[in-house]
Chain A
Amino acid sequence: MTTELRRRLVVPAKHAGLVLIGFVMLYPVLWMVAGSLRPGDEIFRSPGLVPETLHTQNYTEGWNALTPSFGTYLVNSAVLVLGCIVGNLVSCSMAAYAFARLHFTGKRWWFGIMLGTIMLPIHVIIVPQYVLFSNIGWVNTFLPLIVPKILATDAFFVFLMVQFIRGLPRELDEAARIDGCGHPRIFLRIVLPLMTPALATTTIFTFIWTWNDFFSQLIYLTDPEMYTVPVALRSFVDSTVATSWGSQFAMSVVSLVPIFLAFLVGQRYLVKGIATTGGK
């Protein structure tokens, strides 16, 4: 085959293949969005995407199905996500500065431990952690979910930031040091402003992972007033009868909208973060 012919045939075939794969992959999600706008009996009659009429009742029904209403869960999730983001940004950047720029006793050893904790499954620590937090009365508050972030236990982000700081020119630190800056000032005035891309990546991943996280929220939040979106959605699905698929789809769509928006805003940072450190 000549290269010309090859280019004419292979490239369009590739595109056709990729579009097909993408379409098949995303079809279920689109079908859910369409289903959320259909009356219950129509959802399963048609595998197509265009609803016959727009049936927004699913949304109002789903929104008010539990007490309190879905708005409370969205607010709870938002508060939790915000706390986790602030916690991760502050604590992980501090730890990363130490690992990337300071020389201290046993640094290699501590750094190895930090890397090791990236791989540690939460299931191994959840039982004693639960015992600890329930003894100090933190169950049914957001503290067991936020405090670990304030204590830099998301080692993945520490590592991501260490990688980033290592790429910053040391001459800047040294110039600041000659001008009389100590480490706190070098960190706040020089390193932190330069590492905004890493901070953005951390923000967006923390947002998505916390919004989706189910296991720890299921364990720590048992009072409906404190439910977050995933816990509420699960409780809604368990409590409703099979005929109300429309409203289950509607609330599922509502719960995915923030993720989708975060994805649209932060694609660049997500791709970079995954590519350099290997996220989930």
Chain B
Amino acid sequence: MSALDELRQLRRGGAQVRSRDNRAAFWFLAPWFAGLVFITIGPVLASFGLGFTKYNLIQPPRFIGLDNFARILTDERLHNALGVTFTYVLVSVPLQLACALGVALLLDKGLRGLAFYRSAFYLPSLLGSSVAIAVLWTQVFGTEGLVNRVLGLFGVEGRGWISDPDTALSTLIVLNVWTFGSPMIIFLAGLRQIPVVYYEAAAIDGASRWARFRRITLPLLSPILFFNLVLQIIHAFQSFTQAFVVSGGTGGPSDSTMFYTLYLYQQGFSRFDMGYASALAWFLLLIIAAFTAINFWAARYWVFYDD
């Protein structure tokens, strides 16, 4: 059962738990409580407070009311960064999940060598977030890079994919799609759960391959698809490393790879405008929460729960 299912169950309400064991629980949870207060919830609240101040780490924070939030509404570079980030999320996540589902369907059905293929396709997910792969990407898509060399073999003229503002973001989208292995593994686990008898019954009734996919696989896999969608969207909003390395920390060329997180980093840790960075952080939290809420709302129309 995934974390999302757990939350669903909690919302519906479960059996009441009688309280005993309180003392033992306190000691077992002591590190976690401390982390919650000092590392997680505390900073979340503190960043809300800092959002109303001007603060550069050296002078004490100065209260400036809603100025930072007003700035969010008028900051054109931020609006561009939002556009870049939305494009990245809304294009790369569906493509990534389509690849993951497609390959998972090919791999299912007891194919020989399944474990080997699964590992091979999963490897990029482990490497994908590293600086090394970002360095590689700048070369693969560089003017003299691998992509242009291969295109050259077919007589196609390439271009500097990363130095061209029109294509720089697409190279990062390709990179995210490249890491389809981890949602693929989740799909494979989900496909295993679908009872074979359903397919057998459908085959006896003369259902076509497409009908079986559309009427059995897709509805029964929809909770897994939903889980992957929620998770990958949250994950994609937080992408940072690849854009940072590929653009040398600038978000360039012409702000075309300026992810929201990169802009936040620049405001907070290059310009030390901690107040504005905090406001930006909260705004990001609201955006991600809104996307997740929309996802949950839309789920009731397409996600099928068997229970």
Residues on A with beta carbons closer than 8 Å to the beta carbon of B36: 113, 117, 153
- CB-CB < 8 A to A8: which residues of B? none
The contact of B117 among A18, A237, A248, by CB within 8 Å, is A18
Q: Does A152 interact with chain B (Cβ within 8 Å)?
A: yes
Whose C-beta in chain A lies nearest to the C-beta of B14? A108
Asked if B240 CB lies within 8 Å of chain A CBs, one says yes
Q: Would you call B46 and A128 a contact (CB within 8 A)?
A: yes
Nearest CB in chain A: distance from B87 CB, A:
19
Q: Is the pair B3, A278 in contact by a Cβ cutoff of 8 Å? A: yes
Asked if B159 is an interface residue, CB under 8 A from chain A, the answer is no
A138 within 8 A of B: no
* Residue in B closest to A262 when the chains form the complex, CB atoms: B126
Cβ-defined contact, B268 with A25, below 8 A = no
Shortest Cβ distance from residue A8 to the other chain B in the assembled complex, whole angstroms:
14
A138 to B6, alpha carbons, bound, how many Å?
37
Q: How far is the CA of A280 from the CA of B7 in the complex (A)?
A: 19
Known contacts A18-B117, A91-B35, A270-B122; A123 and B28 CB within 8 A of each other: no
CB-nearest residue of chain A relative to B283? A124
- Determine whether the beta carbon of B28 is less than 8 Å from that of A124: no
Q: Would B111 and A14 count as touching, CB distance under 8 A?
A: yes
User: Which of A32, A46, A94, A208 touches B29 (beta carbons < 8 Å)?
Assistant: A94
B294 within 8 A of A: no
Residues of B within 8 A of A18 (CB): 103, 106-107, 117
- How far apart are the CA atoms of A230 and B125 in the complex, in Å? 17
Pair B125/A280 contact, Cβ less than 8 Å: yes
A50 contacts the other chain (Cβ, under 8 Å)? no
Count the B residues whose beta carbon is within 8 Å of the partner chain — how many? 99
Residues on the A chain within 8 Å of B150, using CB: 47
A223 vs chain B, min Cβ distance (A): 15
Asked whether B135 is an interface residue with its Cβ less than 8 Å from the other chain, the reply is yes
Q: Are B119 and A267 in contact (CB under 8 A)?
A: yes
The secondary structure that dominates the B interface is helix
Contact between A274 and B182 (Cβ–Cβ < 8 Å)? yes
Question: Which of A51-59, A63-71, A129-137, A193-201 sits within the interface?
Answer: A129-137
Contact flags A194-213 to B (C-beta < 8 A → 1, else 0) = 00000000000000100110
Chain A residues touching B, majority SS: helix
Cα distance A6–B131 in the bound complex, in angstroms:
45
**Stretch with Cβ within 8 A of A (4 or more), from B74-82, B88-96, B214-222, B284-292:** B284-292
**A125, B106: Cβ atoms under 8 Å?**
no
- B residues within 8 A CB of A263? 119, 123, 126
Are A28 and B44 in contact, with the CB atoms below 8 A? no
Would you give the 0/1 interface string for A77-109, flagging 1 where the beta carbon is closer than 8 Å to chain B?
A: 000000000000011001101100011110110
Interface centre among A158, A211, A280, by most B CB within 10 Å?
A: A280
Q: For residue B124, which residues in chain A have a CB less than 8 angstroms away from its CB?
A: 25-26, 29
Q: Is A159 an interface residue (CB 8 A)?
A: yes
Point out the residues of chain B lying under 8 angstroms from A259, CB to CB.
Answer: 126-127, 130
Of the candidates A17, A47, A107, A214, the one whose C-beta lies within 8 Å of that of B146 is: A47
For A152, the chain B residues whose CB sits under 8 A away are: 31-32, 35
B235 within 8 A of A: yes
Nearest CB of B to A265, in Å:
12
**Nearest B residue to A154, CB-CB:** B35
Considering only CB atoms, which chain A residue lies closest to B269 in the complex? A219
Contacting pair A278 B228 (CB below 8 A) = yes
**Does A190 reach chain B (CB closer than 8 Å)?**
no
Q: Mark B261-293, 1 if CB is under 8 A from A, else 0.
A: 100110011000010011001101100100010
Shortest distance between the CB of B74 and any CB in chain A (Å): 21
Closest A residue, CB atoms, query B129: A212
CB distance from A208 to the nearest CB of B (A): 6
Chain A: which residue is nearest B292 at the CB level? A119
CB distance from A210 to the nearest CB of B (A): 12
B20 touches A103 (CB 8 A): yes
Contacts of A149-204 to chain B: CB distance below 8 A: 150-153, 158-159, 163, 182-184, 187
- Tell me whether B206 is interfacial, beta carbon within 8 Å: no
Question: CB distance B149 to A125 under 8 Å?
Answer: no
Cβ-closest chain B residue relative to A87:
B31
- Rounded to whole angstroms, the CA-CA distance of A97 and B24 in the bound complex is 10
Complex CA–CA separation, A48 to B107 (angstroms):
29
A128 and B43 contact, Cβ closer than 8 Å, known pairs A26-B123, A107-B17:
yes
Contact A121 B237 (CB under 8 A): yes
Cα A47 to Cα B158 with chains together (Å): 14
Q: Flag whether A256 is at the interface (Cβ < 8 A).
A: yes
B170 within 8 A of A: no
Question: Nearest chain-B residue to A48 (Cβ)?
Answer: B149
Tell me if A124 and B285 are in contact (CB < 8 A): yes
Q: Does A5 contact B (CB under 8 A)?
A: no
| B281 & A126 in contact (Cβ 8 Å cutoff) | yes
28 contacts between A and B (CB under 8 A): A18-B106, A21-B121, A27-B146, A95-B31, A98-B25, A102-B25, A103-B20, A103-B21, A104-B19, A104-B21, A104-B22, A104-B24, A107-B17, A119-B234, A119-B288, A120-B285, A123-B240, A124-B282, A131-B57, A150-B31, A215-B265, A219-B265, A252-B135, A255-B131, A255-B132, A274-B185, A277-B3, A278-B231
Known: A127-B274, A249-B139. 5 other contacts (CB 8 A): A121-B285, A121-B288, A129-B39, A212-B131, A271-B122
Q: Which are the 7 A-B pairs with shortest beta-carbon distances?
A: A151-B35, A104-B25, A252-B132, A128-B46, A275-B189, A125-B43, A98-B28
